[in-house]
Structure 1
Amino acid sequence: MNKKILISTGGSGGHVIPATIIYKHLENNFDVYMTSDIRGVKFLNKDEYNLKIFNVRPISKNLLIMLFNFLLMIILIFKSIFFLRKNKINILISTGGYMSLPLCIGAKILNIKLLLFEPNMVLGRSNKFFISYCQKIFCYSNNVKKFPIKLKNKIKVIPALLRKNFYDKRDSNITLDTINLLIIGGSQGAKIFDDLVKNAIIELSKKYKLKIYQQTSSINFESFKKTYENNNINCELFNFNDDIINFMHKTDLCITRAGASTLAELNFTEVPYLAIPLPTAKDNHQFENAYFYNKLGFNWLLNQKEIDEKILLNKLINIIDNKEEYLAKKKNMKDFNYENTWNNINQKIISVINEN
């Protein structure tokens, strides 16, 4: 009899995208279900997954709202227990976040095997809460910050999770004579990418021939397009639902936030990038993500609180002019990626699933 596996996710793309990848790794060998809150649904094609909506509200500091959310959480825990029992779930895989709390609590009550996933270089708060109960936690490194030392034996290191289409071979010859520049603001957008970065690009275009691929909200499409056209900059704008791989494959250099999924994709496609971590990210995990890969020689790193248009412009000019450093970063990425194959990750995940 096939094991029945539930993958719990929701919230941002950083939680949902890895969940969809794990689902694809498991769907041919097991009976797989997925739960998400309403926010997370926009990051996946509902028709591809055996999906159930579990809408968990964000934790509020307002006392009245907290009391309401607490009562709602109790209801969701009972609902989770009912769902886990009804579907005879053998294993729960959580990709973190408060959205997974009721299901993880339900799994603990029912003594169901719990596996966690932590793509960041800082242990998330939800994962930290359940780390002593889980059987294993999938990570990209043994050196995750805030991880209890006595529980490090629970870490199962895997190569970074990537959607299957990323494994199609990339064939390109980068010269940097024309700079194909990709700008990614994260799934929730970023004002700095709408203003400061745009202005720096306008100045940069006076020195180099550019082709801009920029991710932005549909609200900005017309104004961005007009601004770039008025400055004779070739641009292609896209939103957060478009397939990012098509743009990464055209890209020489990227300016990005430092979400774990985005960095994994840039590393694999061998696109050196300038990381500007989101300073408000919980536990400063975006900085830790970028810094981890910075030490491996993949990227350049800037602190948003310490930069202005001039600093950003000078940094970009330095990156473009220093081709030896740029090519060294591409080689570092290539050397790092040799173990990242779909089959290798598949075997590692399934081996943990099949452990007693």
Structure 2
Amino acid sequence: MEWSMSISRHFVLAAGGTGGHMIPAHAVAEELMARGHHVALVTDERGAKIPGIFDKAQVHVLPAGRMTKNPKSWPGALKAILAGRAMARRLNETFRPTAVVGFGGYPAMPALLAALADGVPTAVHEQNAVLGRVNRLVAGRVDAIATAYPGVERLKEKYAAKVHLIGNPVREEVKQLREEDFPALTEESVFRVLVIGGSQGASILSSVVPEGLSMLPVALRRRLQVTQQCRAEDIERVRKTYAEMEIPADLATYFNDVPEKLGWSHLVIARAGASTLAELTCAGRPAILVPLPSAMDDHQTANAREMTEAGGARTIPQSRFTAVELAKQMQKMAMEPGALQNAAKRARGCGRPNAARDMADLLESIGHAPIVNDAVRVGPTPTSLNLAGVPA
């Protein structure tokens, strides 16, 4: 039987309550709903409160325990996971999902466990270049594993036949930047620098970047225009520093128009979170990346590897991220003729702008038709998913 794209199906998307999990889930939900499907979100209280996403979908807040290194936390965490699983099974009874997909984070665990218990097809999406803890726990049992990078650490080779390189879904406004040219840049024009440190800013960027910019040659420093995200406790100090250096600076604790700011930026200085990397490579913007060293499994360093090796970014470990090193790397990128434009092109080459579309295709195919996905895959190329009860 061939399934028509007009057939309406139900999908449950389960995601942890941070932007790194929720934004890709939201992009996939928008794609699925645009195809006429119905979507329900399972998350925690943090995820349910993120403004502007999942406004058109059912939202269910489930308890989800977090298994820490402290054994004393395990009984309470297990109790919460089992309670969430029971609630998710009741959701399956009423919503009758075609598939359940987890986007990482502990809130995804109860929904995935419920789907596995109920025989509902399952998939996970891994945003980082290191397989996350929850995705590692269920990788052997789910029907499909979608990844954002060609190489994913902690992903066992024996799962290669069900792994699909999808990319990280991004907002439509970011996808549109891909059709625009890199902002014009001459030796006399304004040089626009965007500094973003994740959803809460990064204090080390607030400390190092202004000092680093002050060390640039006068001819370059006078052309600078800085837009920087700062923590609330840092913002006035940073504003005063830029004023003393006579560098125009637009500072805020949060930017709700990042795609617009990304569009006119010549260089981005940022952490190496999965969503940040996806937007930089989709738009094609060169960057200096400072991975967060405390990220679980050092996944931000792994995230930065592809873009850096391609020549679209320079990665500076936080232990070596000093004003002197930043100034040195900026001069190499900004003062060599054509260097930024070339880096932008190389960054763009790492982008996977159709990730939401490809993920929706993957979910539509689970349990029904063979997967048809022209994205590059990790490991051997399968002709279809080998689902329980479905011939390969």
Same fold, TM-score > 0.5, yes or no = yes
1:196 aligns with 2:220: no
Q: In 2, distance between residues paired with 1:37 and 1:148?
A: 29
CA contact (8 A) 2:203 2:234 kept: no
CA contact (8 A) 2:65 2:78 kept: no
Deviation at 1:63, TM superposition (A): 4.6
Instruction: Return the match for 1:104 from 107, 112, 115.
Output: 112
Structure-to-structure mapping, 1:13-24, within 5 angstroms: 13-24=19-30
CA contact (8 A) 2:147 2:165 kept: yes
Give the alignment's TM-score, normalised by structure 1. Answer: 0.91
CA contact (8 A) 2:145 2:163 kept: yes
Structure-to-structure mapping, 1:237-316, within 5 angstroms: 237-240=251-254, 242-316=256-330
1:170 aligns with 2:176: no
Question: After superposition, what is the alpha-carbon deviation per residue over 1:310-340, rounded to whole angstroms, capped at 9, x for unaligned?
Answer: 2222222222222333222122234455x63
CA 291–150 in structure 1, closer or farther in 2 if over 3 Å, else same: same
Deviation at 1:41, TM superposition (A): 3.4
CA contact (8 A) 2:281 2:347 kept: yes
| Corresponding residue for residue 14 of structure 2 | 8
CA contact (8 A) 1:142 1:155 kept: no
* Equivalent position SS for 1:106: helix
Q: What one-letter code is carried by the residue in structure 2 that aligns with 1:18?
A: P
CA contact (8 A) 1:9 1:99 kept: yes
Structure-to-structure mapping, 1:151-230, within 5 angstroms: 151-168=159-176, 169-171=179-181, 172-175=183-186, 177-204=189-216, 206=218, 207-208=220-221, 209-230=223-244
Deviation at 1:347, TM superposition (A): 5.1
Q: In 2, distance between residues paired with 1:175 and 1:154?
A: 48
CA contact (8 A) 1:252 1:272 kept: yes
- Report which stretch shifted further, 239-248 or 46-55: 46-55
Instruction: Return the match for 2:33 from 27, 37, 43.
Output: 27
Which is richer in helix? 1
CA contact (8 A) 1:10 1:38 kept: no
CA contact (8 A) 2:311 2:343 kept: yes
Deviation at 1:34, TM superposition (A): 1.0
CA contact (8 A) 2:203 2:230 kept: no
Q: In 2, distance between residues paired with 1:21 and 1:249?
A: 20
Q: What one-letter code is carried by the residue in structure 1 that aligns with 2:21?
A: H
CA 212–119 in structure 1, closer or farther in 2 if over 3 Å, else same: same
CA contact (8 A) 2:202 2:231 kept: no
Where in structure 1 are there 5+ consecutive unaligned residues? none
Structure-to-structure mapping, 1:53-72, within 5 angstroms: 53-72=61-80
| Corresponding residue for residue 40 of structure 1 | 47
Deviation at 1:142, TM superposition (A): 3.8
Instruction: Return the match for 1:129 from 127, 133, 137.
Output: 137
* Equivalent position SS for 2:215: helix
Q: What one-letter code is carried by the residue in structure 1 that aligns with 2:180?
A: R
* Equivalent position SS for 1:27: helix
Q: What one-letter code is carried by the residue in structure 2 that aligns with 1:2?
A: S
* Equivalent position SS for 1:98: coil
Q: In 1, distance between residues paired with 2:111 and 2:212?
A: 46
1:349 aligns with 2:360: yes
Q: Which has the higher contact order (CA 8 A, sep 6+)?
A: 2
* Equivalent position SS for 1:211: strand
Give the alignment's TM-score, normalised by structure 2. Answer: 0.83
**Count of paired positions:** 353
CA contact (8 A) 1:142 1:152 kept: no
* Equivalent position SS for 1:329: helix
* Equivalent position SS for 2:332: helix
* Equivalent position SS for 2:151: coil
Deviation at 1:341, TM superposition (A): 4.3
| Corresponding residue for residue 94 of structure 1 | 102
Q: In 1, distance between residues paired with 2:41 and 2:339?
A: 43
